[in-house]
Amino acid sequence: MKFTDTSPEPRIRVVRGAVIVPETGTPDLAHGVFDARANFLPLSKARLSRDRISGVPAYAEPTTRLRGTYLYAGFGHHHFGHFILESLARIWALSASDIVPDGLLMPARHGLSLGPPLPPRLAPAAARFCGDLPFHIIKEPTRVDRLILPSPGFGHGPWLNGTKAFHDHMRNRLADIPVDGAERLYLSRRELRLNDKHVDREDEIIEMMKQAGYLIFEPQAFHLDIQLGVMRAARQIVGADGTAFHLAPLAMRRNAQAAIYLRRNRPEMLDYLARQMEGFAGVTPLKIDARRRPLSKVTPAPIDMDVLRGALQKGGFL
């Protein structure tokens, strides 16, 4: 598989006697799948954040075995956004293959505690997008009787648009989500625990959005199905770059409008998030860089309220 600037063509390989080697703390996050003859399978490489591709691990003799048929879901990560982008990147094959697996596998990133069972912040996403299939977290070299190894259907950076097969799977999995929410939705980060996840001057931004009739919504405070239902109901969605805008395109209606503004010093994220929204929902969001000039390296990036307000007004969001 070539790591190009477009999502790879859907492909499924069935590997008998596969050996999965987990990540062991190497700088290039090397991990992946070997065939029964100990040949590494490039199809198992992962696209990571900041335009990185996982490396090739050294072969290791398996110390445990899983009997039955399993689907290789992706690279295990504990962060919710990365879980969707990396750990569930291959689940489209659940809809595209006639083979019904006994469970799903993901090699864990070294040092991360992923269970089993999956942590409460991740389990609802696994259940919603994968059904009731159990997840097996690979923490040691493991031989699998029969492995379904799909190409990634989704991922960081240039793969955020996703493949049609991935779109179709997600659409099917979300079809029964109740639509329940306001037409104007502001996605807030105010209650997130870590300071570097916050938005500069967000209290002022929230007050501005309230006055314009927006529902102020803290996604992480609600069950995933409620989050998706609220996002599906909205006619206009506004918020800062981040995980919520990896989730919203999976649910939002195709005639919705969205505005995304920068909260950190990574301007490329506006293009990446727009790419996902265009790919999944057919919506081209308004991209706003309202960082105060001259630019600094402070996180969260200082916001120029006049610039943000002006851009939202011009775009029809205020």
Report the SS3 class of residue 199.
Answer: coil
By CB atoms closer than 10 A (0-12, 13-18, 19+), residue 241 is buried
> Locate tokens 């179709």: which residue?
168
Query: Domains (ranges, CATH) in the chain?
Result: 12-173 (no CATH), 184-314 (3.40.50)
Q: How far is residue 243's CA from residue 152's CA, in Å, rounded to a whole number?
A: 19
The confidence score (pLDDT) of residue 119 equals 86
Q: How far is residue 134's CA from residue 101's CA, in Å, rounded to a whole number?
A: 10
Tokens representing 130 are 């994968």
Q: How far is residue 39's CA from residue 143's CA, in Å, rounded to a whole number?
A: 13
The confidence score (pLDDT) of residue 79 equals 85
The confidence score (pLDDT) of residue 45 equals 95
The confidence score (pLDDT) of residue 316 equals 98
pLDDT digits (tens, 9 = 90+) for 119-160: 888 999 999 999 999 999 999 999 999 999 999 999 998 899
pLDDT digits (tens, 9 = 90+) for 149-204: 999 999 998 899 999 999 999 999 999 999 999 999 999 999 988 888 899 999 99
pLDDT confidence of 116, banded at 50, 70, 90? confident
The confidence score (pLDDT) of residue 1 equals 52
pLDDT digits (tens, 9 = 90+) for 245-277: 999 999 999 899 999 999 999 999 999 999 999
Q: Please state the rounded mean pLDDT for residues 112-120.
A: 77
The confidence score (pLDDT) of residue 127 equals 94
Share of the chain above pLDDT 90, in %: 83
Residue 158 φ then ψ, to 5°: -70, -10
Tokens representing 92 are 């489209």
What is the distance between the terminal CA atoms of the chain, rounded to a whole angstrom?
Answer: 46
pLDDT confidence of 6, banded at 50, 70, 90? low
| Closest by CA position to 258, among listed 243, 245, 246 | 245
CB 69 within 8 A of CB 148: yes
Residue 113 pLDDT exceeds 80: no
* Of the listed ranges 66-75, 113-122, 243-252, 293-302, the one predicted with least confidence: 113-122
Residue 238 pLDDT exceeds 90: yes
Residue 231 pLDDT exceeds 80: yes
Residue 4 or 307, more confident: 307
Share of the chain above pLDDT 70, in %: 97
> What is the pTM for the complete model shown?
0.90
| Closest by CA position to 115, among listed 128, 103, 99 | 103
